[in-house]
A and B are shown apart, each in its own frame.
Chain A
Amino acid sequence: MDIVFGEFLGFLQLSWQSAVMIILAGILLWLAIERNVEPVLLVPISAGCLLANIPLSGVVEAGGFLGILREVGINTELFPLLIFIGVGAMIDFEPFLQRPYTIFLGAAAQFGIFGTFFIAYLLGDGWLHIMDFSLQDAASIGVIGSADGPTSIYVSTVLQSKYIAAIVVAAYSYMAMVPIIQPPIIKAMCSKEERATEMTVTSGTVSRQTKILFPIVTILVVGLICPKATPLIGALMFGNLLRECGTVESLSSTAQNELANIVTILLGITVGGMMIGAEFLRPEVILVFALGIIAFSLDTIAGVLLGKLMYVVTKKKVNPMIGACGISAFPMSARVVQKLGLEANPHNHLLMHAAGSNTAGQIASVVAGGAMLMLIPMFAGG
């Protein structure tokens, strides 16, 4: 009997790409456990990455454990939508509803999505042909700038991008790095006087009816104008309706805790399972990560620029830094601005204003994702 050991001994089939990915999984686990960097996401992602790169295990193939999860959760776009129900139930939109003008800061900060798309497409099929980036790939890479994992997954899945794993990992990694990416840009763009600008505390609360109507009106407005955004905005606002209606406390609590946690585990390990060495270690993937930083930077620059315009128009009543929170990345971005505000002026409490812009950015990023899904098929001829 001939025994071919290479057919059932995994280490004999271990490629250098798989070995590198196993080491990468180890580094991610170390960051999550020892350094406490986004452990809720990084532990499942690195576990998935580790499993996916064990040769001959079959876990990522059709019928394998992670293959099935990818088929039912990612390819059907189900996991990002379920996560959004949890996210919607966690977000209090009151800071935004008290300051409706912040919605424009959220809109401006979406320039990172479209600007990065433009750059990626020029590097790919649009002009230089240096990288294998189609219109769909460029759009999916641009959506890293939504600073929003579920939106990135949803858009890149619908557009069937080749780089979905890299896009998702980049989106989640850079969200954790917002406190590192944003401060230098904000400081370079805003003088100390601008950063020290105090904003008046908004008095009064938003009525319960308004809070209940907000998710319904948002679904109608966004859905009727930009229907491709309906699944995302629908899931987000459904979660928020559970929170605000006040009659389904148990459902709201389940969405915020059990549902969000279960789907985070499944989504994380599935995304990690997409980090297969032979597919992941390519020059294009490195460029996807570089473009991700550009997306976050452009988001911040565009938001701050509109903030500076508001600063001038309102005669120094708006601190331009809150424009940076339009990036979404809730709530890290608001915390960054609050910290920078206090550094420039110990009496400067910007958190609620920043949170308004931050939650506006959450809605704006979903609309931008929907706009991308609407525009790409039109221009791709599909």
Chain B
Amino acid sequence: MVDALWILILGMAIVFAVLAILSIAMTLLERLPMFRDKQER
């Protein structure tokens, strides 16, 4: 039962961590000058 609780906690933590990093990576990429230039044009 304790194992299952750990899997629940770690599983949700992994999902949030991976998606947070992905979100940060995409936000940073959007801020690169090469992307902004293209969008402005």
Contacts and interface: CB of A to CB of B under 8 A. Distances in A.
B22 A114 contact: no
Contacts of A210: 26, 29-30, 35
Contacts of B10: 371, 375
B15 A371 contact: yes
B10 to A, nearest CB: 6
- By size class, the interface of chain B is 20 to 34
Interface residues of A, number: 47
A225 B21 contact: yes
A113 B15 CA distance: 11
Interface in B2-19: 3-8, 10-12, 14-19
Which of B12, B18, B19, B25: most chain A CB closer than 10 A? Answer: B18
B19 A363 contact: yes
A296 B26 CA distance: 29
Given A103-B23, A204-B39, A221-B25, A118 B4 contact: yes
Interface stretch (A30-38, A59-67, A119-127, A284-292): A119-127
Contacts, number: 110
A100 B11 contact: no
Contacts of A103: 19-20, 22-23
A103 B5 CA distance: 24
Interface of B: 1, 3-8, 10-12, 14-23, 25-27, 29-30, 34-35, 38-39
Interface of A: 97, 100-101, 103-104, 106-107, 110-111, 113-115, 117-118, 121-122, 126-127, 135, 138-139, 204-210, 213-214, 217-218, 221-222, 225-226, 360, 363-364, 367-368, 371-372, 374-376, 379
16 contacts: A100-B26, A104-B19, A113-B11, A114-B11, A122-B4, A205-B39, A207-B35, A210-B35, A213-B29, A217-B25, A221-B21, A225-B14, A225-B21, A364-B15, A371-B10, A372-B11
Given A103-B22, A117-B11, A218-B22, 8 more contacts: A103-B23, A118-B8, A126-B1, A135-B4, A209-B35, A222-B18, A364-B19, A367-B15
